[in-house]
């Protein structure tokens, strides 16, 4: 069966990517290696809380960007940290749809 998009892993990233592809009219598949009902994964460890570096997305984008840079010991690219911070709340709102 042909697909337009294949994601590896059924975590947040894989599922969000597959859902967005579907919204855009693409045929997506998600491959997940685990079959147990309650296996260990990052979405379970986070208890479904969506944040940036452990802080709420309700914070100002500047605060989120600073948290990313501080949380990565300054190794994050500042322009990428600002882009993530600027779009984090919008991403959460999209996930809530």
Q: What does the pLDDT look like over 46-96, one tens digit per residue?
A: 666 678 888 888 899 999 999 999 999 999 999 999 999 999 888 888 877
Q: CB–CB of 5/21 below 8 Å?
A: yes
Q: Which 3 state secondary structure label does DSSP give 47? A: coil
For residue range 12-48, list pLDDT tens digits in order: 788 889 999 999 999 999 998 877 877 777 666 666 6
What are residue 29's phi and psi, to 5 degrees?
Answer: -130, 145
Contacts 24+ apart (CB under 8 A), 25-28: 27/2, 27/3, 28/3, 28/4
């Amino acid at each position: 069966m042909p697909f337009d998009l294949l994601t590896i892993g059924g975590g947040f990233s894989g599922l969000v990517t597959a859902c967005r592809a579907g919204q855009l009219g693409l045929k997506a598949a998600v491959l997940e290696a685990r079959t147990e009902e309650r296996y260990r994964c990052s979405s379970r460890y986070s208890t479904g809380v969506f944040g940036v570096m452990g802080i709420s997305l309700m914070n100002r984008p500047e605060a989120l960007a600073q948290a990313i840079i501080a949380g990565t010991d300054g190794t994050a690219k500042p322009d990428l940290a600002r882009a993530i911070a600027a779009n984090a709340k919008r991403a959460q709102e999209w996930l809530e749809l």
